[in-house]
Amino acid sequence: MTTDTHAAGAHDHHHDDGHAHSTFSGYMLGFVLSVVLTAIPFWLVMSGALPSKQITALVIMAFAVVQIVVHMIYFLHMNAKSENGWTMMALIFTIVMVVIGLSGSLWVMNHLNSNMMPIHQMSGMK
C-alpha cells in the first residue's frame, strides 16, 4: 500500500539560480566603490563645498541611490534573472514604498516647519 509520492528527481536541488556568485575581486570592487561613495558625501558636508544645504542634500541622496545599486549588484547579487524576476518585482515595490514614505515625510515636515509659530513671536505671548 505504500506508494512513492515523490518524483524521481524531486530532491535534486541545484544552486544555480541564474546569478553568479562573485569572486574576491568582485567583492573588493564593491567594497572600494562603497567606501568612495561614502567618503565623497562626507567630504562634501565637512568641507562645505556646495553652496547650499538643499543642493548638498540632493547630491547626498543621489550618492545614496548609487550606493544602494552597488550593494544590490556586488553583495546581494540581484539581477533581473534571479528567481525568475520576482526579486526585481520586490525591488520595484520596495522602491515605490520608500519613495512614497520619504516624500510624504519630507512634505509633512516642510509644512509643519512653515506652519509653526516662530520662537520670537512666542516670547510676547506671556
More confidently predicted of 4 and 27: 27
Q: Tell me whether residue 38 is in a domain.
A: yes
Q: Are residues 96 and 70 in the same domain?
A: no
Question: What residue numbers bound the domain in which 106 lies?
Answer: 80-126
Query: For 15-67, what is each residue's pLDDT tens digit?
Result: 555 545 679 999 999 999 999 999 999 999 999 999 998 899 889 988 988 99
What is the spatial distance between Cα 36 and Cα 86, in angstroms, rounded to a whole number? 30
Q: Are residues 73 and 100 in the same domain?
A: no
Relative orientation angle of helices 53-74 and 24-47, to the nearest 10 degrees:
170
Q: Tell me whether residue 99 is in a domain.
A: yes
pTM over cut 0.75: no
Number of domains in the chain: 2
Query: For 72-119, what is each residue's pLDDT tens digit?
Result: 889 988 877 777 778 878 888 888 998 898 888 888 888 887 777 676
Q: Are residues 65 and 91 in the same domain?
A: no
Q: Are residues 49 and 68 in the same domain?
A: yes
> What are the E-state strand segments in 1-126?
none
Q: What percent of the chain has pLDDT over 70?
A: 75
Q: Are residues 24 and 65 in the same domain?
A: yes
Q: Are residues 117 and 73 in the same domain?
A: no
Q: Are residues 53 and 25 in the same domain?
A: yes
Whole-number pLDDT of residue 39: 98
